[in-house]
Amino acid sequence: SDYYRGTCWYYKKLGKIKKEEDEVIYLEFEGVHSIADVYFNDKLLTHHEGGFSTFRCRIDENLNDENIIKVKVDNSPNDRIYPQWADFTFFGGIYRDVNLIRTNITHFDLDYHGSRGIKVTPKLNKKKWEVEVETYLVNGKGSKLIYTLKDNAGETLFVGYSDSPEFKFEIENPHLWNGVKDPYTYSIDVKLVRDDLELDNVSVTFGLRTFKIDPEKGFFLNGESYPLRGVSRHQDRLDKGWAISKKDHKQDIDLIKEVG
């Protein structure tokens, strides 16, 4: 309990950022703990609370020949951001990637709760799998959506079209997702098109599976008993805090698999 909890600042200079007339540009933060204020050329663009979720802010309305990003980060104890007590350390800072995103002014909504502007919901209905795709668009009027379903090998299963932000389809005789034994996934690629010009696209993977919990018999996946053996794993390393590498993540997963 003797580690620093308080406010620190990050600074970064960027040169001139070229912007096309029909473009918007965002900064994306994949993880900052736990309170972040993002300034771009001394203008406060966003205030974000929560250390484990992605957030973004639009920067193209404040571009100069030289641009300065300032991020105020605070991991002080408080009474409103979960968690404040646990068996791990609440390291502060920008500990996941920061990305610069360019997209057309007509795009999948980057301000929709830090998501990619798309939601895929599979449901089993009388032995048929129904998949509902919901998209969230910005300036989407007059555009259409092209949906391409692919299997785990990337082969196209069907292509559908819609003028609506919602689209439903069925998958007959599907290959089910079955945990670590067979983590099979499909993907849905969605293109946003107007006048035959592709403006934006997103791709999402998803699995089809059923599950239930029986108080006497335990957990069932796809109708079969599937014992769950859990571990408690934290995203930290000595001298790195939470800013760990992909190699560190993989080592943790390999250790978890090794112990069963």
74-112 pLDDT tens trace? 999 999 998 888 888 999 999 999 999 999 999 999 999
What's the confidence (pLDDT) of residue 127?
85
Which amino acid is present at 166? E
Give the full edge-to-edge strand order of the sheet including 7-14. 7-14, 67-74, 35-40, 43-49
DSSP 3-state of 60:
helix
CB 39 within 8 A of CB 71: yes
Whole-number Å distance between alpha carbons of 106 and 13 = 28
Nearest to 203 by CA among 188, 216, 217: 188
Decide if pLDDT at 1 tops 80. no
Structure tokens at 108: 């999948």
Task: Kindly list the distances between the CA atom of residue 85 and the CA atoms of 19, 31, 88, 89, in Å, as whole numbers in the listed order.
Answer: 44, 19, 8, 9
What's the confidence (pLDDT) of residue 200?
98
CB 116 within 8 A of CB 204: yes
What's the confidence (pLDDT) of residue 182?
96
Which residues, other chains included, contact 124 with Cβ-Cβ below 8 Å and sequence gap of 6+?
130, 208, 210
Give the residues across from 72 on adjacent strands: 9, 37
What's the confidence (pLDDT) of residue 207?
98
pLDDT bracket for residue 185 (50, 70, 90) = very high
The rounded radius of gyration (Å) of the Cα atoms in the chain is: 22
